[in-house]
Structure 1
Amino acid sequence: MKNKHFYIYSSLMLLMMAGLFSCKKSTAPTPADNFLDYTIPNVPVTSNYLVGAFYYSFSSFSTAVTEVPTVGKYSYTNGVPVVNGVATPAIMQQHIADADTAGIDYFIFPVRSPTLDNANYKQDSLLINTFQAQPNSSTMKFALSYTVNTGLLGVSNTVAIEANAAKLANFYNDFKRIAFWMNKSNYQKVNGKYILVINGAYNINSNNSVTLYQQIRTNLSAMGFQVYIVGSQSEWTPPARFYYRFQNCVDAMYEANMAEYANDIDRYNLFPQMCDQNWAYWKSTLESWNMEFIPCVQAGYNYQITAPSSSSLSRPRTVGGAWYTTYTNVAKRNASKSRLIFVDSFNNFTYDTQIEPTQFYGNNYLNITRTAFKVK
C-alpha cells in the first residue's frame, strides 16, 4: 500500500512540474530578437537634398548589356557620344534634361592626372567640353572627381608619396591644373566652397596626410578657390581603417559602391538593414571627427556583364524599382547636415548601376530619384 501511495504522489508531482514548465515563457531566440529585424521606413523630404550623379564615358557599349538606352546604344569618341559611328552630341543634351527630371543638381565627371596621364586627361576634358557646349548646360552644374593612380604616383602601402619629390610636385600640380574648371559659372559648390572629389583617396600613403591636404588647400586658395574635399573609401569597410589618411584632412567621405557585395549572402538578403547599420556607424564616426558622411546609392548591380561566369549574386533590375526606392530611404536616414547625396551612376551600364532611361524601365528611375530627394 505504501508503494502505491508513493507512486501516486510521485506521478502527481511530475504532472505539476510539467504544468509549471509548460506555462513558462520560452527563451529560445526568434527572428524578432535579431537587431537587423526591422523595416526601413519611408523618410519624408522636408527640404531638398543636394544630389550629384557620377557620369561615365565608354569607348564601346558592351554587347553583354541587355538594357537599351532610350537614346540608343552609344559610346564616346573624343568626348562626343557616337551612335552607329555617327557623332551625336545631342545625346548629352538629353542626358542633361533627364538629370533635371531626376532632380540631379550636378554631374560628377572623372578626371585623370593632367601631369602624369595627360593623354587620358585630354579625353576627360573633351567630355566636359561636350557637356559645356550643350544649349541646356547652364541648367546643370558639374564637379570633378580626381582619380588617384598609385602606379603613376609611385605610391604603395610601403612607399609614401613624399618618397619621390618630383611626383609629389606633380600631384600638387594636378590640382592646380584641374582648377581651371572651377572658373566655370556652373561649377558646383557646397556651403560656398568648390566641391572636389578624390576617388581612391584611401590609397594615398603619406608621411603626413594633414600636411598633404593642407598644401592642396593652400595652393588652390592662392588661386581663389576654397575647396570642399570629399574622399572615398572601399565599400563595406570601417571608417577608422584609414583614419590617419582622412581625419583633419577632408571635409566629407563616401563609401564606394555598396551594391557590390560579391557573394556575401547576408548582405544580399539583408542589404537595406546592413547598409543602414554600416552607414549609421560611418555617419556618427565622421561627425565625431567634424566631417560629413555622403551616402552613395546605386539603382542596381550586375556582376555577369563583365564576368558572365561569375557566381556572385547580382541585384536584378525591376521596372518598379522597389529595391532602389528602399535604398534611397537608407540614404536619407544617414545623410549629414549638408544633405549631400551621391548617385553612382547616371549612365554606368557596365555594371547596371545607371538611372538613365531605357526601353525596359523608361523614366521610372529618374522619377524615383526625384521623389526620394526633392520636395517637388
Structure 2
Amino acid sequence: MTKHHAPLLLLGLLLTGTLLLSCGSGGSSGPAGPIGPGELTVYYCRVIERESEIHVEWAADAATRGEIRYGRTSFTNLVNIPARLDTHDVVLSGLDFNTRYIYRVNIFDSLDRSAEFTGDFTTPVKSTPEPIISGLTVSSITETSARINWRTDEPATTILYYGVTTLSDSVTKDSFALQHEVILTDLIPSTSYRIRPEAVDSTNLRGFGRDSLFTTATRMTVSFPDTTIGIGDTVRLPIWITNAQDLAALRLGISFTSGTVEVVAVDEGPFYTNNGGFIIFSNIRNSEGFFVADLTWTIQYQGNQRIGTAADGSGIVAYARLRGVDSGPVEARFRADSTFGLDVFAQTRACSLRAGVIEVQP
C-alpha cells in the first residue's frame, strides 16, 4: 500500500448590457477608488440588464464571496455566493417583469474585510408574449448521460427534444418553472447529439430555444496483456487504461485461479504518477483468488468549483506483481462489478474490460 498526503480511499471520494443602476447607498455610483488603507477595495459593483435578465456584478482587489438580498419592499430573497473569486456575475431569479426591487450586496474576503452596497432596480418590460429561453448549458457528460439546464423568463413547462441525426426523442415535464433541468440517460458513447429546448406558458404560448450539439464521452477501456510466468518467477503485469477524461478515481477488481499465482503487490504506473495521482490502495486476497486496487487523482478547482483532473488519455495505470506458484492457466479476468471509474462529480464511468491470457509454465 502506497501512502500519500492523506489516507483517503476511493469510496471516501464517492460517497452587451444595459446599465440600470450602480450599486451604492442611495443610488450612488459606487466607489471610484480605494476605500482606504487596509480596507477592501471594490472596483465596481453594479446591477445591469442583459438579455432580459438581471445581473449583479462586482470586482475587488482580492478574491471575495458575497450575499445578495433583494425583494419588492423587503429582503425576501437571498443568494449566497460562497466561492471566492476576483470578479462575480450573479443572475437573480424569481423576478417579475416591469417591477421595482430593492437590494443589498455584502462582500467579504478571506481577511474578513467587507463592503456593503444597497439600491434599487426595475426589471424590464417583457419583450415578447411567449417564454424566452436562455442560459442553455450541457454538463456532467459521461459515456451514456448528460445534464441539460436552461432558464425561461416566465414560469413555463420543460420540454427537450434530442436525437443523433434528428430530434426524434423528447422529455417533457408539465410543471411550471423558471429553472429547467433534464438528465438524459441511455445515450451512446462517443456520439454527437442534437438538442432543442422548448417551453409552454400558462396561456399556451410556446417558446423555442436554439438547436445545440454535444458529444458523449468515449468509453474507457481497462486491459492487461497476455503474460507467461515461470514457477518461482515474478513479473510486473501492466494494467492499461485508454480514453480516460478528467478521471478522479478508478477501482480495479481482478480475480484469478487461486494457487496458480500469488499477487505480491500492486504498484503505481506512469499514467498514475505523471497525472497527479493522489493515493493508491490495494486489498489482496490470494487465498480467495482476487484483488482490488483503488486509485485517485488530485481534483483541480476554480474557486470552489471542480473543473477536472490531469488524468486524461491513455497509459499504464498500475502494475500487478505476480509470482508463479503452480503451472497452468491462471484464468485471470476483470470483475465487472468492481471495475469502474469516477469523474470529479463522483459519477460512475463505465469501462470496457479486456483481459489477456496468463499462464504459469514449469
- The structure whose Rg is larger is 2
Task: Tell me if TM exceeds 0.5.
Answer: no
The structure where helix makes up a greater share of residues is 1
Q: Which structure's relative contact order is higher, taking Cα pairs within 8 Å and 6+ residues apart?
A: 1
The structure where strand makes up a greater share of residues is 2
What TM-score, normalized by structure 2, do the two folds share? 0.21
What TM-score, normalized by structure 1, do the two folds share? 0.21
